[in-house]
Structure 1
């Protein structure tokens, strides 16, 4: 069950690299083949060494600068049994890194005047979402985006909503009504909402991001998955990105692994109903286009993901009460913590058999991402942070 990681690690919950070929796709936001950086021997050696130390079966890594993907590479094995190597097009379950996409979709709607961040969400819903301890205090979009809504995952962790090997059968609206609305089969005054007034304190909430996805669908006039395909994935030519297990081709899928006595054991992928919080699957060649835009004022190549002001607002870090010590700030979807002594906007993700991370350096318009197909561990977290730092050095 995904939970926030203990300090000093970043909360890895989705809900808290041995050479394979480089794939350079001639798509928006991606450098052409003669401009895509060839991996230096030192970088290659470093990544492989970190993989060996952390016993990572497969990994994909990339970096971008000035809105252009400069490097995207796969390492190790996507499927050990089939001896299938990771490529730049291998699709990994990116877990809670998904939240950065959901937050971006909400900001696109805000840019179009469809919502304001500080308005109550209630008028967009057909069921009540009210903290029973503070019935006079409205929950807003900003609170959901910053994990300060007081919607709690405590009850969520008591019930295992995951389904092994397939997408969740419980629809997002039903999941949310059953969890958040009084009288719902999974509703609890004590466990579905925290003791803090909405807006008063930080509390990581997968359910809150599930609610953002539903709200985006209601306000945008179509399921948020369709909106992201139309407004984000298609313009950025992200052809190896999917919201569902069933739409992730097995030929492109990274098998998730657990380490048992140091040996990788294959797991089934997991599906869960609050898909806006962590169900996205994407390749490094695809997702680096999103990272490139996020690090570059919202623009990658000729595609404007967000306006510069909206992108800056997402990365404007605050320090709400209750922010855990491993974080230095909370933005809109994005968080902030130290990497090699420098505060970086970022997000981590973890679920059974996957561990992922993305970091931005807006001052240099650079971004990096690392996907792995193994459970999070202290060794894996250290390796991913070390690789992220080395990628930023390569991007400089």
Structure 2
């Protein structure tokens, strides 16, 4: 997730470096001319898509533990004129972190560990900030991006696999990055100088470590654990962790704007899958948001206790929190939307931009997926759509 200097939100896990060669002009599809609005919601969404030149978009709204609305707009693939449907599977990027966080909090709630407990006893290597070797890193530190694990070297090394999943096991990445002498170890580059727990510093590697910890604690790969205890109860049938597992007919083609032309870009795979590799349909993720906004239960399926779900959404303001955020929770963040602090998480990678919002007061969740690289215009559009849906 790459820092966004526009003071909006961090929405991209890497610099959006993938740039294709401009192809013959293809029609933009986010315009009423390509879809007849069914109601005011359609008209509003299509207008915002047109302003931002977004090819395809999926929208979901949940309220009081149930999916209320899911819709697709524009094209999942422009050349094939394949429309976005409610089953189209988008790469949700860093929204993945909210799922990883929920799994960790659920395990703590079940008594497997305490969130304020050091993670070292659960690892097969020693984790320590060399500047503060006697200050332990806890589960809560990792969840709240105050672990002191830095992404500085992570951004400098190109871990991307273009067009396919990463072949590097998560364990190999972590040990090479976090253990002195490892391939990606750099004195002063893998940890900040701040003590664990003292300073906010967004960390993809930290969320990669959380995924690894879940596997160590449960005895099964976190992806299998999530399928069993989250996806199956919620009926999430179109959510996968690998590029290869997305059926071609459900895949959202990714686009970058090159010389004002939407140009396809390849998906990219990363080894830190628990940080941002989840693919999901709008129906599926809206079911997850329905539970997250409704005390951990959706349509009778409970994935979190009410206390655990509430704890995830408690916002704190650690030192170093950037001014575009108003709070940091367990996985979730908060920032202003329409002049009101709103719990949310955004995601971005080359060719995509996604957002999820929660309003626990009204038990509402909103998910928005798009298949175009983030831009100032798309940020404005996504925020306008989210604000409108939360106020319905």
Same fold (TM over 0.5): yes
Counterpart in 2 of 1:113? Answer: 111
Q: Deviations over 1:311-342 (max 9, x none)?
A: 11000000000000000000000000011111
CA contact 2:241–2:279 (8 Å) conserved in 1: yes
Counterpart in 2 of 1:187? Answer: 185
Distance of 2:368 and 2:187 partners within structure 1: 39
Counterpart in 2 of 1:150? Answer: 148
CA contact 2:148–2:201 (8 Å) conserved in 1: yes
CA RMSD after TM alignment: 1.6
Helix, strand or coil at the partner of 1:246:
helix
Structure 1 18/223 Cα, relative in aligned 2: closer, same or farther at 3 Å?
farther
Q: CA deviation at 1:13?
A: 2.5
Counterpart in 1 of 2:283? Answer: 285
Q: CA deviation at 1:81?
A: 1.2
Q: CA deviation at 1:6?
A: 1.9
Distance of 2:38 and 2:146 partners within structure 1: 43
Helix, strand or coil at the partner of 2:245:
coil
Distance of 2:12 and 2:321 partners within structure 1: 15
* Residue among 208, 214, 223 paired with 2:212: 214
Q: CA deviation at 1:7?
A: 4.1
Counterpart in 2 of 1:265? Answer: 263
Q: Deviations over 1:43-86 (max 9, x none)?
A: 11110011011000100001110000000000001011111000
Counterpart in 1 of 2:369? Answer: 371
| Pair 1:8-2:7 in alignment | yes
| Pair 1:228-2:229 in alignment | no
The normalised TM-score by structure 2 is 0.94
Helix, strand or coil at the partner of 2:230:
helix
CA contact 1:118–1:141 (8 Å) conserved in 2: yes
Counterpart in 1 of 2:44? Answer: 46
CA contact 1:18–1:75 (8 Å) conserved in 2: no
Q: Deviations over 1:197-232 (max 9, x none)?
A: 000000000000000000011101100000000000
Counterpart in 1 of 2:350? Answer: 352
Distance of 1:355 and 1:281 partners within structure 2: 13
The normalised TM-score by structure 1 is 0.93
CA contact 1:299–1:306 (8 Å) conserved in 2: yes
Unpaired segments of 5 or more residues in structure 1? 23-38
Q: CA deviation at 1:18?
A: 5.4
CA contact 1:99–1:277 (8 Å) conserved in 2: yes
* Residue among 228, 253, 256 paired with 1:255: 253
| Pair 1:302-2:297 in alignment | no
Distance of 2:268 and 2:204 partners within structure 1: 15
Counterpart in 1 of 2:340? Answer: 342
Q: Deviations over 1:336-381 (max 9, x none)?
A: 0011111111000000101000000000001101000010110010
Distance of 1:332 and 1:323 partners within structure 2: 14
Q: CA deviation at 1:15?
A: 6.4
Helix, strand or coil at the partner of 2:100:
helix
Question: Number of matched residues?
Answer: 377
Counterpart in 2 of 1:324? Answer: 322
Distance of 1:243 and 1:264 partners within structure 2: 26
* Residue among 384, 387, 391 paired with 2:389: 391
Q: CA deviation at 1:388?
A: 0.5
Helix, strand or coil at the partner of 2:233:
coil
CA contact 1:144–1:208 (8 Å) conserved in 2: yes
Helix, strand or coil at the partner of 1:364:
coil
Q: CA deviation at 1:107?
A: 0.8
CA contact 1:7–1:326 (8 Å) conserved in 2: no
Distance of 1:309 and 1:303 partners within structure 2: 16
Counterpart in 2 of 1:311? Answer: 309
Distance of 1:14 and 1:161 partners within structure 2: 12
Distance of 1:141 and 1:247 partners within structure 2: 30
Q: CA deviation at 1:117?
A: 0.4
Q: CA deviation at 1:8?
A: 2.3
Give the 4+ runs in structure 1 shifted more than 2 A.
13-19
Counterpart in 2 of 1:78? Answer: 76
